[in-house]
């Protein structure tokens, strides 16, 4: 009796377990799971940005890959419309305001978003709400540990 076992590759809806390191081209590590638990997620669930997900399609358990991603495939480009001047009075008195510090802000809808302090003025603080990695090339190094068929897979559909 022979079994027809096909190696599962990552596709839409796949359940994936992986180790990853995200770094800048100069080697600065931005995020990594190597020292802890592997990341587990379902392709398409929003855990990874689209460019990082696309880099995983077709990989299987045991595969390692290191890619350099351009800004358009990673965290996008900085948009000047995401830079805002906010009155100093909007910040609590005890908050330490320094250029380069990332501060959490709550949107009117209750979403928490980070903003980087770009400039301190007399009565305003200039805050950049672009992703801190916007405009940068990044290296995405992954080791795929496990791939399972997700519950939502039907046929061989490809991402659009």
The first and second tokens of residue 15, run together, are 């359940």
Structural domain contains residue 52: yes
pLDDT tier, 91 (very low <50, low <70, confident <90, very high otherwise): confident
pTM over 0.75: no
110-126 pLDDT, tens digit per residue, is 988 889 999 999 999 99
Residue 3 has pLDDT above 90, yes or no: no
Task: Using a pLDDT cut of 70, give the percent of the chain over it.
Answer: 89
Q: What is the extent of the structural domain holding 84?
A: 80-128
Residue with tokens 């595969």: 63
Q: Does residue 4 lie within any of the structural domains?
A: no
Confidence category of residue 32, pLDDT binned at 50, 70, 90: very high
Angle value at C-alpha 73, between 69 and 74, nearest 5 degrees: 75
CA atoms within 13 A on the CB side of 18: 32
DSSP state of 156: S
| Dihedral sign from CA coordinates of 29, 34, 36, 38 | positive
How many domains are there within the chain? 2
């Amino acid at each position: 009796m022979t079994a027809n076992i096909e190696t599962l590759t990552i596709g839409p809806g796949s359940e994936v377990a992986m180790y990853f390191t995200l770094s800048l081209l100069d080697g600065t590590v931005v995020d990594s799971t190597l020292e802890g638990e592997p990341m587990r997620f379902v392709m398409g669930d929003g855990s990874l940005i689209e460019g990082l997900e696309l880099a995983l399609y077709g990989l299987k358990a045991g595969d390692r890959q290191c890619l350099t991603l351009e800004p358009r495939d990673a965290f996008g480009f900085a948009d000047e419309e995401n830079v805002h001047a906010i009155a100093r009075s909007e910040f609590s008195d005890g908050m330490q305001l320094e250029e380069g510090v990332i501060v959490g802000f709550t949107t009117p809808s209750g979403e928490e978003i980070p903003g980087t302090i770009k400039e301190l003025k007399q009565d305003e603080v200039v805050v950049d709400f672009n992703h801190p990695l916007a405009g940068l090339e990044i290296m995405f190094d992954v080791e795929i540990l496990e791939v399972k068929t997700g519950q939502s897979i039907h046929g061989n559909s490809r991402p659009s």
